[in-house]
Structure 1
Amino acid sequence: MKRFITQSLMNNLHKKKDVYELTRLNNLFTRNEINIPGFDDYRVLKCDFHTHTVFSDGLVWPDGRIYEAWQDGLDAIAITDHIEHRINQDLLNGDLNQSYKIAKTAADDMELIVIPGVEITRDKPLGHFNALFIQDANLIEKEDPLDSLAEAKKQGAFIVWNHPGWPDNNVTLYPIHEQLITKGIINGIEVMNYKDFYPKAIHWCVSFKKTIMAGSDVHCTISGMYRNRFRPMTLVFAREKSEAGIHEALLARRTIALFDGYMAGEIQILSQFVKSCIKIKYMKNSCIAVTNVSDIPFHIFNEDDSYMLPERKTIMMRIPANHLWTLENCFVKEDSKLSISINELRLE
């Protein structure tokens, strides 16, 4: 690196200036473009619906969250600051909507969708909930958390039960959650959060017809946290790239949770998604060429054979006698992976 900088300086020394600018560093940010195909008429929106800023217990200013999200290749982000836990309250005079307002100004410039939200925070057995698509966060601050949830629903909020296994590593469906599910208060459940994966929560989503979600729950800076892998995110299959399009898709449960190369989703959505990512071509040498057109790797298991299908790569293998594949990194239930016939992946 030093010789390139030195050469850049040497090339400009003849200009006799007081300051020699390294113009090759003029780019402000670099975006990681994530290639994930949609299916039918749906487009994939990469979303993180769980983030925090200095307006609760985070370490980043709201517009910093926007710049991070844009660089990470996201299409949408939600600011979900705690309404009860605000460690900088004595220093920051803004109301509960202030972090969203700051983020929204930056997001509009970056053409990124920012969803207004708050996190309603209580100890177990109730736990934490994100209220998304709210109108006024100030009205949601109540002494009784059930009143907070009721106000959020009154505002048309989409309610997500956050990290059901935190902080005790017990993923438990308490009676209060059964009541909230029965009453239609809970719309979605995080099956992946920060660095945790809760397979049991997939079963709840499928059984109770709740939307499968994943979020980073990021508090500090996110750069480098996931070792060049994607942050936990919710893949939303929307008809249009807009806040309304995302809201409609979440209510329709067209989502896949993505985290560290693992995916979780309803079988219909996940199977359609895999079909859009993996293509098979029969070769003349009794082999098949298997192409992954996405930026997500797949782990294929067939009988006693295991294959890694890297992102944006084609591998060649002998035609298997058993045409049924199991995608080891694609969960459709707590203890069940997606199975699919290679005939459904065939590229004519």
Structure 2
Amino acid sequence: MVRRKETLSILLFAILALLGSTSLAAYQQRFDFPNVGPYLVLRCDFHMHTVNSDGRLTTRDRVEESKELGYDAIAITDHGTTRAYRVAKYIGDQLGLIVIRGHETGIKGGEHYVVLGVDSSYVPIDSHRWARKKGEETIFYQDAMTDVAKHGGLIIWAHPHTGLNECTIWGTQQGIVVGVELKNDVVGEGWNTEKSHGTNWYPKAFEWAMEYNWAVLACTDAHSKRKDNPAVTLVFATERTDKAVLEAIRNRRTVAWFDGMLWGRKELLSQLMSAMVKSSRTPDGKLVLKNYGPVDLDGLVEGSSPEKRFDLKPYSEVVIDVAQGNISIRWLNVWCGLNDNLTMTY
């Protein structure tokens, strides 16, 4: 009798454990996107700090946190040092996370730049003290940028609070400065951000990105633990490698995802939405839209009266009672211009 009770207890414990694990799995957050043509859509953050500069997290903690938040690729960009890279790369390899060598630097009293993809022989010089003019006591910015390029790297203009001037323009003309942050989580309402589209960010940077053909990025600039739903740069890469990620940035295959919005070039956003949202019809003719991605989408049926607005949750579907034939949907949180939402036909 005792043995029977013990057996029943073990069985009950096993059942409860199974139910618990099933419940946990059901509530685990998904982050995956469908492929877009030949490209993998990778979630990335290219601006963050550790205790190796002014951050509060160790390298291990930062890498593990990045994995938990669903990032596919990161760069630890401590001020003036790439010291964290070797440990970060080792841990990242174990977790299946791409780690890119980088650091943060910039012009003395001015612009901040994120350096990405330099080789192991690169040594940062005069961090945040690059000189605007030749002959000053610190390295001339043109020489510093050229050194980044010589070592295989590229530059992203971080939280562009200073306005556009000759340093960034020169770097762009040389093909070294290739991207700009539209959103930086850490600066909040400061650092000359503007309140627009319901949040604080750099809307002018989006216009500059279109004018100067820069990649658009959204980064956390995390010093302590990152907030829920942090900024993400979506990178459209040919494979899951650091080289493929850097190639995608250089070729401007990026979308900035922050505060519930997607920002990017119309062509790339159209390709992303075509892969992420699929349509069909019910037997009685209603439109079914299914979301295969992690973005919560805010849609509006164009020309509908009364207005038909709907919320298409991640990995879910909606059924909309509309007329037969092609239907245009304006995605209210997908932006290809400061005043232009992406419109798709289904």
TM-score of the aligned structures, taking structure 1 as reference length: 0.78
> Distance between the aligned counterparts of 1:239 and 1:327, measured in 2?
27
Q: Is the CA contact (8 Å cut-off) linking 1:235 and 1:258 kept in structure 2? A: yes
Alignment of 1:145-184 (within 5 A): 146=141, 147-165=143-161, 172-184=163-175
1:34 aligns with 31
Deviation of the 1:53 alpha carbon: 0.5
- Aligned mate of 2:177, from 186, 192, 197: 186
Write the mapping of 1:244-263 to structure 2, written as runs, cut at 5 A: 244-263=243-262
- Aligned residues of 2:111 and 2:161 also touching (Cα < 8 A): no
Runs of 4+ in 1 over 4 A off after TM superposition: none
Give the length in aligned residue pairs. 295
Counterpart residue identity of residue 34, structure 1: F
Deviation readout 1:103-134 (Å, 9 max, x if unpaired):
1121122121110001014466x411001001
- Structure 1 distance, partners of 2:180, 2:82, is 24
Compute the TM-score of the two structures, normalised by the length of structure 2.
0.78
Distance 1:261 1:318, change over 3 A: same
Match of 1:128 among 112, 126, 151: 112
Q: Is the 8 A contact 1:36 1:296 kept in 2?
A: no
Aligned counterpart in structure 2 of residue 311 of structure 1, from 311, 314, 319 = 314
**Alignment partners' CA distance in 2, 1:137 and 1:120:** 17
Q: C-alpha deviations, 1:143-186, integer Å up to 9, x for none?
A: 336133222122111210011137xxxxx323433333223231
Note the aligned Cα RMSD (angstroms): 2.5
Aligned partners of 2:145 and 2:171 also within 8 Å: no
1:240 deviates by: 0.7
Is the 8 Å Cα contact of residues 120 and 145 (structure 1) preserved in structure 2?
A: no
Query: Which runs of structure 2 are paired with 1:15-54 in the superposition (5 Å)?
Result: 32-54=29-51
1:202 maps to which residue?
206
Question: Percent of aligned pairs with the same residue?
Answer: 28
Deviations 1:226-274 (A, max 9, x none): 2xx3x21111111111111111111111111111221111111110000
Q: Which residue of 2 aligns with 1:144?
A: 139
| Map of 1:16 onto structure 2 | none
SS of 1:129's equivalent? strand
1: CA distance, partners of 2:38 / 2:251: 15
For 1:234, the equivalent position in structure 2 comes to 233
In the alignment, the residues of structure 2 paired with residue 33 and residue 145 of structure 1 have an alpha-carbon distance, to the nearest angstrom, of 46
Aligned partner letter, 1:100: Y
User: Gapped runs of 5+ residues in structure 2?
Assistant: 1-8, 11-19, 127-137, 189-199
